[in-house]
Amino acid sequence: MPRVPEQHAGSAQQTRLSTERTISSIPRADRYEAAGESECPALHEKTAEDKWIYPSEQMFFNAMKRKNWNPSEPDMKTVVPIHNVVNEMCWKQILEWESYHQAQCGSPKLLRFEGKAKDLTPKARLRSLIGFQRPFDRHDWTVDRCGKPVRYVIDFYEGRRDPQNPDKPSFFLDVRPALTAEGAWDRTRRFFGL
């Protein structure tokens, strides 16, 4: 995304999209500039609560156009809230992993994130080789654990449809620490319930 939030409608755009943005519950680390930048610097705007700010419908639409997707203007009213809810779910799951490190840091913050839709994680690649569906997206989120950057890997899968409500979107998130020595230990502790 560009440095300044792109809130302008394109020349071929038919519908006026909202430029209102929502403040997330995700705390933003102060040191994002020194540590590197997310793929969306527009989210770095400072808020009183020092939280990340989600893109508006117009920003989301413009970002999809830039990435050569074929977004539908009317879909933005649905897509943007889903995007926000999914990100909140990611953060909640990251906090579950971070609870292993509560003694060393009680207030982790999101430092940066990066979309890697075309890069399969080793786990996703292995799962797809044995017949499971491939994720439709992947993100790497870096958390500031009180001065220590810690990377998390998130695979996004389409979930099972509810037969009672087949139009309702369903997602499965596979959130886990990156496979470093510490990340492997955290995964082992969770697997064995330690």
Residue 4 belongs to some domain of the structure:
no
Work out the end-to-end distance of the chain between its first and last CA atoms, rounded to an integer number of angstroms: 41
Least Cα distance to 101 among 185, 174, 27 occurs for: 185
pTM of the model: 0.83
Residue 9 belongs to some domain of the structure:
no
Cα–Cα–Cα angle for 142, 122, 174, rounded to 5 degrees: 55
Task: Provide the token pair at 127.
Answer: 């799962």
27-78 residue pLDDT tens: 999 754 434 444 444 444 555 568 999 999 999 999 888 888 888 999 999 9
Residue 18 belongs to some domain of the structure:
no
pLDDT bracket for residue 146 (50, 70, 90): very high
Least Cα distance to 64 among 52, 78, 76 occurs for: 76
Residue 8 belongs to some domain of the structure:
no
Instruction: Assess contact for 148 and 180: CB atoms under 8 A.
Output: no
> What is the pLDDT at residue 163?
80
Residue 177: domain span: 23-192
Name all contacts of 43-51 with Cβ < 8 Å and 24+ positions apart: 45/5, 47/23, 49/23, 51/23, 51/24, 51/25, 51/26, 51/27
Q: How many CA atoms lie within 13 A of 17 on its CB side?
A: 26
Mean pLDDT of 91-106: 96
Cα–Cα–Cα angle for 137, 140, 144, rounded to 5 degrees: 150
Cα–Cα–Cα angle for 135, 123, 125, rounded to 5 degrees: 65
Least Cα distance to 151 among 189, 96, 114, 105 occurs for: 114
Residue 125 belongs to some domain of the structure:
yes
Residue 10 belongs to some domain of the structure:
no
Mean pLDDT of the chain: 85
Mean pLDDT of 164-184: 88
Residue 83 belongs to some domain of the structure:
yes
Run of H or E including 126 = helix 122-129
Mean pLDDT of 77-88: 93
Residue 139 belongs to some domain of the structure:
yes
Q: How many domains are contained in the chain?
A: 1
Query: What Å distances lie between residue 8 and 33, 46, 73, 170, 180, CA to CA?
Result: 26, 21, 13, 31, 42
